[in-house]
Amino acid sequence: MTNNDILRRLRYALSISNDQMVEIFAKGNLAITHAQLHGWLMKEAEEGEAQEAGFAACPDSALSQFLDGFIALRRGVREDAPPQVIPNRINNNMILRKLRIGLNFKEEDMLGTLKLVMGLPLFAPLLAVTWIAVRAAYARDRA
């Protein structure tokens, strides 16, 4: 799943308008135009198809700033927080963590959501073991 897919799915799942998305990016310290947003929300062409004019790949830093803005919108800005470091690369764990914070999900909420998505019940110890295995495999792939 690309960053564009994530933005598009969040927009529709949470019923966020284009104007609200621009505001969320602004809260994450990224000023974007409606044209830029439109390019990021366009679907990527399938293999062998021509890409529509105006499509642009959403960079990791922009997605991270959108999620930071989403957190600021939902929970407010912490006055005592250190300045945010904008990562050049963002992975699924970071995306999930920021969504969890923005949606104010607790452990039970996350497990319930994962059960809905995956179709099978998960328990915290099983999820922890899965997380450790995935991180170990990811570390081996990077080495």
Residues 6+ apart with CB under 8 A from 90: 3, 60, 61, 63, 64
Q: Which tokens hold the place of 60?
A: 């990791």
Q: Which tokens hold the place of 115?
A: 């059960």
Q: What's the mean pLDDT in 20-30?
A: 94
Residue 143 clears pLDDT 60, i.e. is over it:
no
Alpha-carbon distance of 84 to 27, in angstroms, equals: 12
pLDDT tens for each residue of 53-80? 788 889 999 999 999 999 999 888 777 7
Alpha-carbon distance of 63 to 99, in angstroms, equals: 11
Q: What is the pLDDT of residue 124?
A: 63
CB atoms within 10 A of CB 119: 7
Helical (H) or strand (E) element with 126: helix 124-142
Top pLDDT among 110 and 12 is at 12
